[in-house]
């Protein structure tokens, strides 16, 4: 069942990207449309997606223990992934724009567009989605602070002026979402339906954007970058296997009462291919969005092989 879900989700993304490729090749969409789509996603649809997702969450005492495990485990995973990303970036002697993308894509996965549907199908009932949302929440606190700091061009400004660069529509949306979740503030339905619907267009707009990029790059250029394959191996297979045994050992050592669902969610989200939205964020902050697109493309294709392997290891 898991493999068919993976195929369905990746096929879904591929069809959307193909629409972007066809539209660009047919000259329906011009190259200038990339900037329009990037701004639309960054300033409107993605902030709305974050706010509406977080405001709909409800944390209960019954799953507090597993939730804390997910949050702490996620920070630990991101820390290890960042170290590996930095080491392999140095190994390939990548310069700062490419090194930042390499490191961040080693950390940040496609946990929403691929992870959420997969987990919901594997563990129906909602508990897995809640843990996945906590993983996403934790990852967002890193992505919209440390991630933006790494992507932003070097600046001589320090102190408050430099910190202001970290302030963006998405960190504001994250803050609003956290407040709404903490105080259980619910938007009226007349606002929730249109705003959530607009936020959900982030996936479609992102894949159209990626399709335009794919239409501009030769397949040969896509496949001849060795650091992309190293990143995919580390992110999709090596590190998830390490995390399975490491967290399993810690749970056994300290006799932690962690559910199988929480454990599986933590590992599977860590094993997701590279994050889609980072391609657009890289463009926004002047980083190497072409490398980000290559990472996304190659890792997504290879995840067809790696995710079933991780699922199998979790089952045994």
- pLDDT of residue 255 exceeding 80: yes
Q: Residue 6 sits in a domain of what CATH number?
A: 1.20.1530.20
Record the tokens describing residue 234, joined without a space: 């580390």
Question: Which domain, by its residues, includes 135?
Answer: 2-315
Strongest mean pLDDT among 19-23, 58-62, 299-303: 19-23
- pLDDT for 156 equals 47
Q: Are 113 and 9 in contact (CB under 8 A)?
A: yes
Q: How many CB atoms lie within 10 A of CB 276?
A: 25
Q: Which residues contact 205 (CB under 8 A, 6 or more apart)?
A: 37, 40, 41, 45
Total domain count for the chain? 1
The answer on pLDDT for 34 being more than 50 is yes
- Residue 224 clears pLDDT 90, i.e. is over it: no
Confidence of residue 272 (pLDDT cuts 50, 70, 90): very high
- At 158 the pLDDT is 52
Q: Three-class SS of residue 109? A: strand
Q: List, for residues 152-206, the tens digit of each pLDDT value.
A: 755 444 545 555 655 778 888 988 988 888 888 888 999 999 999 999 999 899 9
């Amino acid at each position: 069942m898991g493999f068919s879900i993976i195929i369905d989700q990746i096929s879904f993304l591929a069809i959307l990207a193909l629409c972007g490729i066809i539209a660009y090749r047919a000259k329906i969409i011009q190259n200038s449309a990339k900037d329009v789509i990037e701004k639309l996603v960054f300033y409107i649809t993605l902030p709305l997606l974050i706010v509406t997702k977080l405001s709909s969450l409800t944390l209960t005492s019954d799953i507090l223990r597993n939730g804390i495990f997910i949050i702490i485990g996620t920070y630990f995973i991101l820390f290890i992934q960042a170290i590996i990303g930095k080491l392999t970036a140095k190994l390939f002697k990548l310069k700062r724009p490419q090194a930042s993308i390499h490191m961040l894509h080693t950390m940040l996965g496609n946990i929403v567009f691929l992870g959420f549907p997969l987990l919901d199908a594997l563990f129906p009932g909602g508990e897995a989605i809640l843990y996945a949302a906590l993983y996403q929440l934790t990852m967002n606190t890193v992505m919209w602070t440390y991630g933006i700091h790494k992507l932003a061009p070097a600046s001589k400004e320090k102190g408050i002026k430099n910190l202001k660069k970290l302030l963006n529509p998405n960190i504001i949306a994250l803050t609003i979402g956290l407040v709404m979740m903490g105080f259980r503030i619910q938007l009226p339905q007349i606002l929730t339906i249109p705003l959530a619907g607009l936020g959900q267009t982030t996936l479609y707009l992102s894949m159209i954007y990626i399709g335009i990029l794919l239409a501009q790059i030769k397949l040969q250029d896509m496949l001849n970058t060795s650091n992309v394959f190293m990143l995919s191996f580390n992110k999709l297979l090596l590190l998830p296997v390490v995390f399975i045994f490491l967290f399993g050992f810690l749970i056994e050592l300290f006799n932690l009462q962690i559910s199988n669902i929480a454990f599986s969610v933590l590992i599977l989200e860590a094993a997701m291919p590279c994050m889609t939205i980072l391609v657009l964020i890289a463009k926004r902050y002047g980083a190497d969005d072409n490398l980000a697109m290559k990472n996304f493309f190659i890792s997504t294709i290879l995840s067809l092989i790696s995710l079933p392997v991780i699922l199998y290891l979790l089952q045994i």
